[in-house]
Chain A
Amino acid sequence: MKMIANRRGRRIVTGIVMTLALAAFWMPQATAQLSSSADRAELGGKVKDFTLKDTDGKEHKLSDYTKKGKIVVLEWFNPGCPFVVRHHANATTMMDTFKAFKDKDVVWLAINSGAPGKQGHGVELNARKKKDWGIEYPILIDESGEVGKYFGARTTPHMYIVSADNTLVYMGAIDDDPRGNKAESTNYVADALTAHLAGKDVEEPETRPYGCSVKYGS
């Protein structure tokens, strides 16, 4: 590489490099890419579009599903949380519900909003658990927490259902059995999907979610 010998030339190069470095620092990180800056998703209101990458690096945009007439289920996920472990490894609540509705224009996306260094974080770990637990839907990585905070996701799991016209029709728990000790439990998500698909109002559009806290960074 030919060295730049004169003073003016060196200053120009230094300036260009500094500019590029600073531009790279301030460039928005390719993380959540929420398409607008609404504060919080509201039940009964329109949900803002978002794009996240899954554990295979593939991008998923909410509107790519809803504009095709799909209902989208969002499941907040952390493979280190015992409640998530119970619903995936001990029981198969999530996959059973997914399978019951996957042929009915329902798409299911898991989202991990854990920050780097926090429990359950990391593409490799989430990809491994997806395989180990036989999860057949994408796990999206939201390590900035932007999408999680927009939805107000507090626990793992925390479930949301977005209708094909981008309306939030359900938010809350997967079921009414936080301790996993009921002989028969009510699956709120299944009930909400059944009602919505039949054109009826969801009887319980909001329930208290249970689980570990979402491991946001800030």
Chain B
Amino acid sequence: MFGSMHPDSDTRPVRDTLVALFAVLVIALPAFGQFPPGKHQDFLKPGDEESDELVQAELLADHDAIAPGQEMRLAVALTIEKDWGVYYRNAGSTGLPTEFEITAPDGFAIGEVRWPAPERKIMPGDMLDYIYKKRVLFIIPVKAAADLEPEGEATFTVDVSWLACKQACIMGGADLELTLPVVGRFEQPGRAKAHEEIAKTDASIPKPAEKLNIDIETSWEQTTLRVQVKDADELTFFPDPAKRWRIGNPVETTHVKGDLLEMPILDKRVDRSKPISGVLRIVRGKRIDFAVIEANTAGRPEVEL
């Protein structure tokens, strides 16, 4: 079209000039930002009713009663609107961890919240968050004292707060309460409706590597942490929250198709008294396991970054 060989004609001067002008408009205008801006995103304000619709929270139990000396599990279940997510205990580059304030009556001991492994959310700017989508259960272990009086009821409360994000973000929370009858020592509390879901989630909670019978090796090559898992097809690392170290280029380095992760551990002030820890998702064939791993930083050389 441009500079092509054609016999002279009366229409060619006009056509050539118009073509050239068109080229200027198409090619040059973007350089000057003349294209109209995209549509603005609406944003949600804290306290909007949409917050309640985005995340539904429930407090569940795996048994319908509790007896002295019994162990049971509570669970905070969050059902999340499609395409929205709430955050893991390490939120990642942005966001806020989901938080729990748990109270139990006298005679009951509450264990640490058990967090399922999250999923990765990669965003422009090489940012990586760790989130949950659709539905997630957080398991709360409970033990009743052996000398608990088998009478009355026990009321448990959980104040849960979250940040739900899609493009916009909105804070949310719920004050949850669950009351269970306290029955005699030799009575057998029945399984509650939520037992199966709680048991299935609890089974998927990451476990210490030694309990999984998987060959996991950690080692250091200068300031790079190497995590190798025999026979793994895919590895993903979800680091625990940490103040004194961070992983270089986590979008690329914390996920690999293969059996070896190599993660640069950055920070001039690595606290050598504490290990680098997190959850390792291990895919071997059709099997997926979640292992809690720790890497002793004593093996990391003192290298000025």
How many residue pairs bridge A and B at CB < 8 Å?
136
**Stretch in A55-63, A98-106, A116-124, A189-197 with 4+ CB within 8 Å of B:** A116-124
Q: What are the residues of chain B within 8 A of A38 when measuring CB–CB?
A: none
A82 to B165, CA, bound (A): 11
Q: How many residues of B contact A (CB 8 A)?
A: 47
The segment from B35-43, B107-115, B142-150, B195-203 that touches chain A is: B35-43
The reply to whether B129 and A213 form a contact with Cβ atoms under 8 Å apart is yes
Contact B125 A25 (CB under 8 A): no
Q: Are A25 and B16 in contact (CB under 8 A)?
A: no
The answer to whether A13 touches B16, judged by C-beta atoms less than 8 angstroms apart, is yes
Contact A82 B27 (CB under 8 A): no
Interface hub of A17, A29, A116, A149 (most chain B Cβ within 10 A)? A17
Residues 115-142 of A, flagged 1 when their CB comes within 8 A of B and 0 if not, give 1111111100100000000000000000
A179 to B39, CA, bound (A): 29
Q: Does B273 contact A (CB under 8 A)?
A: no
Q: Are A119 and B41 neighbours in the complex by a CB distance under 8 Å?
A: yes
Bits for B3-36, please: 1 = Cβ < 8 Å to A, else 0: 1000010001110110111011001101111000
Taking a contact as CB atoms under 8 Å apart, the answer to whether A80 and B28 are in contact is: no
Contact segment of B166-174, B205-213, B218-226, B232-240: B166-174
User: A214–B126 Cα gap in the complex (Å)?
Assistant: 11
Interface membership of chain B positions 114-133, coded 1 if the CB is closer than 8 angstroms to chain A and 0 otherwise: 00000000011111010000
Q: Is the CB of A14 within 8 A of B20?
A: yes
B186: CB under 8 A from chain A?
no
Task: Pick from A10, A82, A115, A117: contact of B46, CB below 8 A.
Answer: A82
Q: Which interface residue of B2, B39, B43, B243 has the most chain A CB atoms within 10 A?
A: B43
Whether B31 lies near A3 (C-beta < 8 A) is no
Nearest Cβ on chain B to A203's Cβ, whole angstroms? 14
A29 touching B33, Cβ below 8 Å: yes
The answer to whether A3 touches B37, judged by C-beta atoms less than 8 angstroms apart, is: no
Interface string of B268-285 (1 = CB under 8 A from A): 000000000000000000
Asked if B94 is an interface residue, CB under 8 A from chain A, the answer is yes
Rounded to whole Å, the gap between the CB of B41 and the closest CB of chain A is 4
A154 adjacent to B12 (CB under 8 Å)? no
Known interface pairs A25-B27, A29-B31, A212-B165. Does A218 touch B124 (Cβ–Cβ under 8 Å)?
yes
The 8 Å CB contact of A7, one of B2, B8, B126, is: B8
Q: Report the separation of the CA atoms of residues A82 and B43 in the bound assembly, to the nearest whole angstrom.
A: 8
Contacting residues, chain A, for B125 (C-beta < 8 A): 145, 148-149, 154, 213-214, 216, 218
Q: Which 7 interchain pairs have the tightest Cβ spacing?
A: A117-B38, A24-B28, A216-B125, A80-B43, A17-B20, A119-B41, A216-B124
The chain B residues found within 8 Å of chain A, CB to CB, are: 2-3, 8, 12-14, 16-17, 19-21, 23-24, 27-28, 30-33, 37-41, 43-46, 93-96, 99, 123-127, 129, 161, 165, 167-171, 243
Supply 19 further A-B pairs (C-beta < 8 A) apart from A115-B124, A120-B41: A3-B13, A4-B17, A10-B12, A17-B23, A17-B24, A20-B24, A21-B24, A22-B27, A24-B31, A80-B43, A80-B168, A81-B168, A85-B46, A149-B126, A211-B94, A213-B125, A214-B125, A216-B124, A218-B125
